[in-house]
Amino acid sequence: MILKLAWRNIWRNKRRTLIVMLSIIVSVSVLLLVDTLSVGMVKQMLDNQINIHISHIQVHKKGFKDDKTVKNYIPDDLKVEKAITETKEIKSYSKRIITYGMINSAYNSSSAIIVGVQPDKEKSITIISNSISKGRYLENENEILLSKKLAQKLNVEIGDKVVLMVSDVDGNISSELFRVVGLYESPYSEFDKLHVYIVIQDAQKILKLDDKVIEFAIIVKDSKYVNHVKERLVQKLGDLYEVLTYADVAPFISIMLDIYYQMIWIYYLIFGVAVCFGVINIMLMSVFERVREFGVLKAIGMKNKDIFLLIMTESFIIGVLGTIIGLALGFALYIPLSKSGIDLGIFAESLAWYGVGRVIYPVLTNFTLALVAFTMPFMSLIGAIYPAVKSIKIEPVEAIKYI
Amino acid sequence: MTIIKTENLTKIYSDGKVEVVALKDVSLEILSGEFIVIAGPSGSGKTTLLNLIGGLDKPTKGKVYLEGKDITVMKREELSDLRLRKIGFIFQAYNLIPVLTVFENVELPLVLLGIPEKERFERVMEVLKALGIAELVNKKPNEISGGQQQRVAIARAIVTEPAIVLADEPTAHLDSKTGGMLIDIMQEMNQTRRITFVICSHDPQVIQRARRLIKLRDGMVESDEKLW
């Protein structure tokens, strides 16, 4: 009976109910879009960081993270390779040499992070081979891959020569001539400014590392295995090695995730409070309009808890209906956008600075869905408390006289 | 059997500066099956007395006993329960719930009593037939006449088979013919179902039908006589 009464009561003043419901519908659909876009942006940022360079897991000699010098090469790369190949959750891996140096052209010079890679294997670790804007990916010795940005700075083109200068494993300055074979353009502009690629044999030669390597970059079959694989490798490799996940390598990603979670709560709070006040407003009006009716209900024996429940139910129905329609509207917008993405071309430069592409694909998580679905019905209940308390304070003897 | 007994019932309204004595030392005894009319001019305390008997208001002084229990000391929730089980109310302005149909309005007290659906249906239909409004079951209050609305209000008041029905100026909003018919119905219910009625009114045709007439003046009982 309370449900029946509540349902009919909310349609007594259709316009008023529809206005507050509309505010819930808009809030729910906007929150759904803003939240899924934010998740999409953070996910893209994380994926880009992993796919451009970091990979899921990196293995180094212990101490490399804090002292990235060539001397910290992996002492027994066969042992590491064996541990990796024995771990079935690992999809692919690649050996790398990483060092700092200078790159000089005939016109300009720049500092650089020089990455020696196994071209074939590296293709299954990062997207750099797919991000070539001009020329081709590395194939042979004495070839170098630069970013388009760095090439512009150095004023070089495909086929031009550049000289790399590094400090070798003995601390001596060593240099080598390379021919530019390709220019890449990753989604992360800050990365592009520094990273240059050569084949691993060239890097070993120039650094006098013989066949030693500095890093193993690993991609696991599913990102949920990352921590498990890390533990397995730590067990197998012991104290001489450091095994780092992407979260260890790039802590700013977890900071970005934290910022996202804090920001999203603020969004929910703002929309939730706005809806809450809307509900307080209409439910109070509705209670004042029905003072006599409440008096009658009490006179015939309806208990205060039932009257309280009636008001709460009315508000809850509005919250739930608004949320269902809002979710439907939100999905109608989300589904096509999740396929086509949203082109934020005008912000492309600043997005690239954060490692995000110009097209953002919204991503819906269970957490977002739960949060969007529960916020407005919950806030509708909160908003109904005050009017409901008012309604139970009505004295029947006064209320029946009320016009 | 005594259903209601009041002892020195007094109600004083005060706004902090001025005190108005609405009822003063009213002591009454109402027996089961009586058909009582409380008459008196406006401001004589009729409605105040009815509200105190019905547990809608608390007296400043004095006691009200319903079936021997002192209701003036009962808590709010206890009084709600008491009204639901023992007392039926009929108001001047019908006061039906506008969003509910005639059937649902009459059914409401039975729902609050927790009576099963099948029994509710039977009881509501029985009362509506007795009052000659069974064909209105699906109408909303705003779709029927004032006289019909007041019949629905009577049905709602008696459907729970209360010990007593309290009616406050039930004919005030009706023309004399409809008002007369309504009093006939209440009288019939009193006689056939042995429901005790206490009716406040200054309508002469209601007063005429009284089996016991209590006249109030200035909050006091002026006369209390059994007429037939």
pLDDT tens, B185-220? 888 889 888 899 999 998 888 898 889 999 999 999
A300:B109 CB<8 A: yes
Predicted pLDDT of residue A215: 95
Distance from A402 to chain B by nearest Cα, in Å? Answer: 11
Those of residues 286-305 in A touching chain B at CB distance below 8 A are 292-293, 295-304
pLDDT digit string, tens, across residues A149-198: 999 999 999 999 999 999 998 989 999 999 999 999 988 888 899 999 99
Shared domain for A82 and A214, answered yes or no, is yes
Q: Which residues of A touch B88 (CB under 8 A)?
A: 300
Q: Is the pLDDT reported for residue A403 higher than 70?
A: no
Of A4, A9, A292, the CB nearest to B95: A292
* Residue predicted with more confidence, A63 or A256: A63
Domain boundary among A249, A274, A306: A249
Distance CA B76, CA B99 (A): 26
Average pLDDT, chain A: 90
If one counts the domains in chain A, the total is 2
Shared domain for A189 and A237, answered yes or no, is yes
pLDDT digit string, tens, across residues A2-45: 888 899 988 888 898 999 999 999 999 999 998 998 888 888 88
Residue B124: how many CB atoms within 10 A of its CB?
25
Q: Which ranges of chain B have pLDDT less than 70?
A: none
pTM for the whole structure: 0.79
Q: Is the pLDDT reported for residue A101 higher than 90?
A: yes
Shared domain for A239 and A100, answered yes or no, is yes
Is the Cα torsion angle B77, B79, B82, B87 positive or negative in sign? Answer: negative
Shared domain for A177 and A307, answered yes or no, is no
B76:A12 CB<8 A: no
A293:B97 CB<8 A: yes
Burial of A238 (0-12, 13-18, 19+ CB in 10 A): exposed
Is the Cα torsion angle A260, A264, A267, A273 positive or negative in sign? Answer: negative
Shared domain for A72 and A219, answered yes or no, is yes
pLDDT digit string, tens, across residues A34-89: 899 888 888 888 888 888 888 999 999 999 989 988 889 999 989 999 999 999 99
Predicted pLDDT of residue B123: 92
Predicted pLDDT of residue A341: 84
Q: Which residues of B touch A402 (CB under 8 A)?
A: none
Report how far apart, in Å, the C-alpha atoms of A301 and of each of A203, A390, B35, B68 are: 89, 18, 23, 20
Percent of chain A with pLDDT over 70: 97
Distance CA B26, CA B40 (A): 14
pLDDT digit string, tens, across residues A389-401: 999 888 887 777 6
A304:B80 CB<8 A: yes
Shared domain for A33 and A76, answered yes or no, is no
Predicted pLDDT of residue A355: 66
Of B84, B98, B107, the CB nearest to A301: B84
Shared domain for A238 and A278, answered yes or no, is no
Q: Which residues of A touch B109 (CB under 8 A)?
A: 300-301
Predicted pLDDT of residue A402: 59
Shared domain for A206 and A74, answered yes or no, is yes
| Residue A400 forms contact with B (CB below 8 Å) | yes
B112:A293 CB<8 A: no
Shared domain for A178 and A322, answered yes or no, is no
Report how far apart, in Å, the C-alpha atoms of B55 and of each of A207, A385, B75, B163 are: 99, 27, 10, 14
Chain B interface, Cβ < 8 Å to A: 51, 54, 56-57, 76-77, 80-85, 88-89, 91, 95, 97-100, 104, 107-109, 111-112, 156
Residue partners of B18: CB distance under 8 A and separation at least 6: none
A305 to chain B: nearest residue by CA?
A: B77
Shared domain for A30 and A160, answered yes or no, is no
Predicted pLDDT of residue A235: 92
Q: Provide the pLDDT confidence category of residue A257 given band limits of 50, 70 and 90.
A: confident
Give the ipTM: 0.88
Q: Which residues of B touch A4 (CB under 8 A)?
A: 100, 104
Q: Which helix (H) or strand (E) holds A382?
A: helix A366-393
Q: Is the pLDDT reported for residue A388 higher than 90?
A: yes
Residue that the structure tokens 């009593």 belong to: B113
Of A8, A298, A400, the CB nearest to B99: A8
Q: Which residues of A touch B83 (CB under 8 A)?
A: 299-301
Predicted pLDDT of residue B163: 87
Mutation target to probe the B interface, by most B beta carbons within 10 A, among A296, A309, A314, A391 is A296
Shared domain for A89 and A219, answered yes or no, is yes
Q: Which helix (H) or strand (E) holds B11?
A: strand B2-14
Shared domain for A78 and A15, answered yes or no, is no
CATH T-level assignment (fold) for domain B34-60+80-226 = Rossmann fold (3.40.50)
A299:B89 CB<8 A: yes
Number of Cα atoms under 13 Å in the Cβ half of residue A228: 10
Average pLDDT, chain B: 90
Domain boundary among A249, A266, A291: A249
Which conformational region is residue A212 in: left (phi greater than 0), alpha (psi within -120 to 50 degrees), or beta?
Answer: beta
Q: Could you list the residue range(s) of the whole structural domain that residue A172 is in?
A: 55-249
Domain boundary among A206, A229, A249: A249
Of A1, A12, A299, the CB nearest to B56: A299
